[in-house]
Amino acid sequence: MTSFEKQAGRPRVTLQTIADRLQVSRTTVSNAFGKPNQLNPALRQQILDLARELGYPGPNPAARTLRRGRSGSLGVIFPETLVYAVTDPAALLLLRGIAEASEAARMALWLAPVPPDREAGIAAVRDAVVDGFVVYSLAEDDARLQILAERAMPTVIVDEPPLPGAAFVGIDDRAGARAAAEHLLALGHRRFGVVTFPLADDDYTGPADLARQAAATIPISRARLAGYADALAAAGLPWDEVPVQETRLNEVASGEAAASALLDRSPRPTAIMAFSDLLAIGALRAAATRGLRVPADLSVIGFDDIPAAAMATPPLTTVRQPLLEKGRIAGRLLLDGWPANQPPTLRLPTDLVVRASTGPAPP
């Protein structure tokens, strides 16, 4: 047998089995498990004893969930694979926040898989036995959004994209990005390079021209690019001359590769703005490989302010966003609920955290 097949040997034991043997009703047996003080303690003990003797596995959770209409689990959906989600520091901070809220409310977490087979990932969301969803940063055209809309469960969207009826928690990405660019402009930088994570859900890696930027299906990415562009425009600099390198995953290695491409251009940018700290740390590496001093020769600014940012060499200037807080709030929103037809929308603040990876532009 494989482990998921039914136990071959033992006959199935249900509440009814026990009820029959003791000449009581199914309901009474059910109460013995679920409502201890609705029946005589002696009888209850008898029932529990017999249950153990017969190897009764306890009330079937699926049946219970069906009847009660409540599962005790919160679903969490990430844009990328689970393997990746439990690796990415930003995703983990969010997850931790959600866990704080769910654990306080005695709720379990259900994490959606993103198998190689796309259909399976969609089916998983359709079949999730949960009481609500927290959805993290999906692309606008992610097919799972459709399913979520159909299921019409309580849902909290974190970061993006808006979903009718769902609550929303996010930051002002455009303002955050703008603050990053303004910081660099104030330091005298004029030649920039940008490292982004995906602009669309299509596995592309490489330079992102204006057309691709305009066609982005990931709202966050659009907003951040717009924020950078806002700042440059305000300083009278043309955005269309700024090289943008898109990466597939939010990882140090991706950032290093993308930054390498930027640094090998001529003229070389004097400042690199990255969509995340991991990508920025990759940029630091690319600079180190080329013998560039940070911040004397090159300034690098990240986004998020994950713990590793402060530990980087040099410590990373970045735009802090409250990831843990976002998770906590998302979880609590879901658990507390909201007035019908008035899903709340929250925008949390970002802060520019200036450390040692940015400095005056080289002459």
Partner DNA sequence: GATCAAGTCTTGATCGATACAGTAGTGCCG
Partner DNA sequence: CGGCACTACTGTATCGATCAAGACTTGATC
x/- mask, DNA, residues 35-64, rule CB under 7 A, reads --xxxxx-x--------------xxx--xx
x/- mask, DNA, residues 69-88, rule CB under 7 A, reads x-------------------
Question: Is residue 5 within the footprint of DNA (CB under 7 A)?
Answer: no
- Of 13 and 237, nearer to DNA (C-beta) is 13
* String of DSSP letters for 164-180: TT-EEEEE-HHHHHHHH
Among 15, 47, 114, 279, which residue interacts with its own copies (rule: CB under 8 A)? 114
Burial class (CB in 10 A: 0-12, 13-18, 19+), 201: middle
Residues 6+ apart with CB under 8 A from 248: 197, 198, 203, 204, 205, 254
Q: How many CB atoms lie within 10 A of CB 150?
A: 10
CB of 133 to DNA, least distance (A): 18
- Of 132 and 193, nearer to its own copies (C-beta) is 132
Residue 31's binding partner among its own copies, DNA, none (Cβ under 5 to 8 angstroms by kind) is DNA
x/- mask, its own copies, residues 16-45, rule CB under 8 A, reads ------------------------------
Query: Do residues 308 and 295 lie in contact, with contact meaning Cβ atoms separated by under 8 Å?
Result: no
- Using CB under 8 A as the binding criterion, the count of chain residues that bind its own copies stands at 76
Nearest by Cα to 323 from 308, 339, 335, 312: 308
Distance CA 153, CA 346 (A): 19
CB of 130 to its own copies, least distance (A): 8
Query: Do residues 200 and 220 lie in contact, with contact meaning Cβ atoms separated by under 8 Å?
Result: no
Distance CA 340, CA 281 (A): 44
Among 21, 24, 89, 237, which residue interacts with DNA (rule: CB under 7 A)? 24
Among 24, 46, 143, 151, which residue interacts with its own copies (rule: CB under 8 A)? 151
Question: Is residue 95 within the footprint of its own copies (CB under 8 A)?
Answer: yes
Residue located via tokens 């002696």: 42
CB of 8 to its own copies, least distance (A): 7
Residues 6+ apart with CB under 8 A from 269: 191, 192, 193, 243, 262, 263, 298
The contact set with DNA (CB under 7 A) reads: 12, 14-16, 23-28, 30-31, 33-34, 37-41, 43, 58-60, 63-64, 66-69
